[in-house]
Amino acid sequence: MAAARARFAGGALLAAGAFAVSLARAQEEHAKGGVDDVNPRAPTTPLKIELAPYYCTQCVKEKLIPEEQRTINLYRAPVANLVARLEIDEKEWMAVQTPHFVIFSTLQDTNVKYSDSVFARFDLERLKPLKMKVQFGPEGAKVDAHARLHLYQVRLERLYAHFSALTNNTKPNLGMPTPYEIYLFRDYTQHHAFVDTYFGRGQDKGGLQHHDREMPNFILFTTAESVISERFGKGDGSLANHVMHNGAHVLIDGYNNYYRETPAWLEEGLGHYYERRENIRINNFCCSEGKPPTEFIKPDWETTIFSIVRRDKDPPLVQWCEKKQPGEMTGIENGLSWGIVRWMVETEPIRFTKMLEPMDDLKLNLSSAQLVDQAFGVSVSVLYQRWRDYVLQEWAGR
Q: How far is CA 322 from CA 265, 286, 309, in A?
A: 8, 18, 21
pTM, entire model: 0.90
Query: What phi and psi, each to the nearest 5 degrees, are found at residue 300?
Result: -85, 80
pLDDT in tens, the chain (398 residues): 332 222 222 333 333 444 444 444 444 444 444 359 999 999 999 999 999 999 999 999 999 999 888 899 999 999 999 999 999 999 999 999 999 999 999 999 999 999 999 999 999 999 999 999 999 999 999 999 999 999 999 999 999 999 999 999 999 999 999 999 999 999 999 999 999 999 987 677 788 999 998 999 999 999 999 999 998 888 999 999 999 999 999 999 999 998 888 999 999 999 999 999 999 987 876 644 446 677 888 899 999 999 999 999 999 999 999 999 888 888 899 899 999 999 999 999 999 999 999 998 989 999 999 999 999 999 999 999 999 999 999 998 76
* Cβ contact 207:244 at 8 Å: no
- Decide the pairing of beta strands 140-143 and 110-113: antiparallel
37 in helix, strand or coil? coil
253-296 pLDDT, tens digit per residue, is 999 998 888 999 999 999 999 999 999 987 876 644 446 677 88
Taking only Cα atoms into account, the Rg of the chain, rounded to an integer number of angstroms, comes to 21
pLDDT at 135: 95
E strand or H helix that includes residue 283: none
Q: How far is CA 20 from CA 48, 300, 337, in A?
A: 21, 19, 18
- Decide the pairing of beta strands 208-212 and 218-224: antiparallel
Q: At what angle do helices 145-167 and 264-278 cross, to 10 degrees?
A: 130
Closest CA to 95 of 66, 69, 72: 72
pLDDT at 341: 98
pLDDT at 40: 95
From CA 71, how far away is CA 79, in angstroms rounded?
A: 8
pLDDT at 11: 32
* Cβ contact 206:227 at 8 Å: yes
